[in-house]
Amino acid sequence: MTIVGTLWGNPRQRQSKVILSVAAINGFTLELPQWSFSNKPSEYLADFPYGKIPAFKGMDGFKLIEGTTIARYLSSIGTQVNLLGSNAQDTAIVEQWVHYAEHEISSATQNITGMIYGFYTPFSLETIEKNQERLVRALNYLESHFAARPSGYVALDTLTVADFVLAGVIFAAAQFALGSAERAQYPHIFAHYAKVTADVRVKQYWGTEEFTDVRVTERKALPTI
């Protein structure tokens, strides 16, 4: 496999899962140095002084931040699998579902997570429930969309970067906002998650071991990263 660059991030992070999966599908390897919020390497800060992850530096020195942008870039330079669509309309559909996943599902999930982890104060159960309503509305639409798609993929009839981005935001939602009872309401969505993440090339980055049994609505300690 061809080494295309360095990914600064954490494999537990949904964006890193997406990036590593896109790379693996196209036969790429990414160096993944040790990184933590409490001990950011000097070489990382020299290239990315803003200090956020994920961050990518190519073998040619090309640098990017923002997880979905990095995933799109690696999709665009891949030649083994076309993950972006083969014409303007297909690409637009892929982009549509990338944005839907990020803005309709992930934004509500992040608001819930931020309240649970104490990023937002004071704690407000009302805020959690309002964002849960947003999340449910987005998932209900997505579930009906999948019900009409025999291929099981979200954008096209073949695997695209949108499938990995969606898998990433569903992974994040299922850690806190979707317990087993909620997940049972979305069989098509979680069948898609299983389909995308079971690929032997990417399955090492995914799993269900971090899914919550019961929806979380109270403060939790922030994990060490």
Q: What pLDDT shows up at residue 2?
A: 87
The helix or strand, by DSSP H or E, that contains position 49, with its residue range, turns out to be: none
Tell me what the pLDDT averaged over the chain comes to.
95
d(CA 195, CA 192): 5
Q: What pLDDT shows up at residue 42?
A: 94
Q: What pLDDT shows up at residue 222?
A: 79
Q: What pLDDT shows up at residue 193?
A: 98
**Phi/psi at 31 (nearest 5 deg)?**
-70, 135
**136 and 144 in contact (C-beta within 8 Å)?**
no
Quickly state the pLDDT bin for 224 (edges 50, 70, 90).
low
Which residues are 7's β-sheet partners? 56
Extents of the domains making up the chain: 2-77, 88-205
Going from the C-alpha of 142 to that of each of 19, 70, 81, 201, 208, the distances in angstroms are: 23, 24, 25, 26, 20
Q: What is the pLDDT of residues 2-48, one digit of tens each?
A: 899 999 999 999 999 999 999 999 999 999 999 888 889 999 999 99
Q: Which residue has the higher pLDDT, 210 or 168?
A: 168
Work out whether the CA dihedral 166, 172, 178, 180 comes out positive or negative: positive
The pLDDT of residue 77 is above 70: yes
- % of the chain exceeding 70 in pLDDT: 99
**49 and 199 in contact (C-beta within 8 Å)?**
no
- The beta-strand segments (E) located in the chain are 2-8, 28-31, 55-58, 63-65
- % of the chain exceeding 90 in pLDDT: 90
| Fold match, 2-77 / 88-205 | no
Work out whether the CA dihedral 149, 154, 158, 159 comes out positive or negative: negative
d(CA 165, CA 142): 14
88-205: what fold? Answer: Glutathione S-transferase Yfyf (Class Pi); Chain A, domain 2 (1.20.1050)
Q: What is the pLDDT of residues 138-186, one digit of tens each?
A: 999 999 999 999 999 999 999 999 999 999 999 999 999 999 999 999 9
Quickly state the pLDDT bin for 225 (edges 50, 70, 90).
low
Tell me the CATH class for 2-77. alpha beta
Residue of 203, 168, 192, 201 whose CA lies nearest to 80: 201
d(CA 93, CA 74): 18
